[in-house]
Structure 1
């Protein structure tokens, strides 16, 4: 089969959408399919790699390090007339994604979309709560133009169906348990953090941005620090809020952006992971922490609702209950043996999740919409 993936973010950009899209691309290629990725050019002189079509893009205002794609409907129509994909997956709802949807509709090519980002909830985090209904309507219109909207949790599927999204399909996520593994714990790295044997390393990994609810992580750490003066707070990631947080909290350890094996070492070298976000469609870092054998405190939605069992793998807290989140962080900071057992349990819980199975499920969804479209074309020709 010939598939096209359209996305406005892609590595080396580091975010959940970019990394998920790359894994889906690799999974389809590993299954023997021809895959083209349509994405914005990330650098002025970036050259096209095999299997990638680069389009014009621009920097995302107020969000350093991210870009969006400019409309390219005409170019995509011409290209897809010459090399018609069997199905298209559009991962992002930006200008490039919308133009790809229009081009595909004109040519009668079936499309699946990915619901990766809660832009409606971002409106609240960036001081524009009045725009939430508008953002939701915009997203609903986009996704309802596709043959299937792919979501990573059953919880999100039910919520979108309640909000009148149609054709919502559950595509589970997985984690690379060979990369994220407790065996990558690095005592030398912990020593560079100033964490002695027996001390507590608390970590946050992810974008340092308003939508991640990071004030709660800071308050939770300050509360547990009163109980564990040996605790250090390790921050892995970059984002628009980093400078302000760094200035207000100079005692935290800031490790910057980490990738690949280095990221795995940072995860595995922590003792407790705090993830207070309420704006995720999934939250890949929750699975990465669990695979790394690290007890986790997170709100019970997204990946935590699907995989993190309260009291067994860490704490899955009722969403928006900030006191419960802080209490859980404090309690786990004091229970060294129980916390280590939770990390071991978490590792075992995710070992059966396989990226290859996600690729197979994704392949089946795209093949299904392609075959349905072929049947429609046959019936139309007969009529």
Structure 2
């Protein structure tokens, strides 16, 4: 039988690791990129297409699903996996980031966050206990602790207060998760390190999370406007504060060059809306950097999006055709561009895994970044 949760590290190269997370619904190869399926769908893609790209796990969102169609409705229909037709692991964001960023009418207290729905203005309370309940109703495989997303920039005092609250909420999340015994027997719970840009606060946060005990640990509070250099500055020390035998997850990241730099610094898991959102807006990620297919220079270009991409889109359709679809506003354009981007990200992760396993990550990363940033 598959275990509830195990993380096996197969090889290391500097701070980088490659391995496998084993769960009841299947293995997750790391470093892993999780396509974002916020509202029970990876936009413009069928589950089988997402799986064919190489994705082992996808991400859903507590905030969006609690509002529509509601966690209770999804539970009554057999759970999130059955509801959306995805039979492999799902990680759900706790909703903390969304209640801070999407709801203008919110009131935070020690209990949780009272907020107005961005859909219809209805009032709701999201607390650590309610977040755990929602994720249990969804049948989530990897549950994220409920935390406060520290705004950026923040003073040391502001960041410390926010971090301490997140740590109190982490303990309540742990207790709430454990109270759902049947779900806790098959799912995993990740804690989230906070502390903004401050090394001393990150260390305190890590110590408190380790004391509580989690299956994996996320580095939270990054990719919030601080810029790549500042993010890498935090990643130079933050992952090493977390247990080496547990997965490390960088939430909401990111661009391909962000991911490469974070893997080099010891991160194992990623998610980001960029490949799907960019695809819907006519941008393709390629080994030679991003391409804007709305640009008129592609209207007569008979070549593939990326000559080095193994995806079905690059194997069949030209840049000229994709340019036409996007300019004409055809749904197929968004579908094909998204499929390519998801494949590109999965090929990126596969390349990083191979490079770590073979001890050549430094040269692999340098070659990838040199070409990616150099453009066509």
TM-score (norm 1): 0.29
Between structure 1 and structure 2, the one with the greater Rg is 1
TM-score (norm 2): 0.29
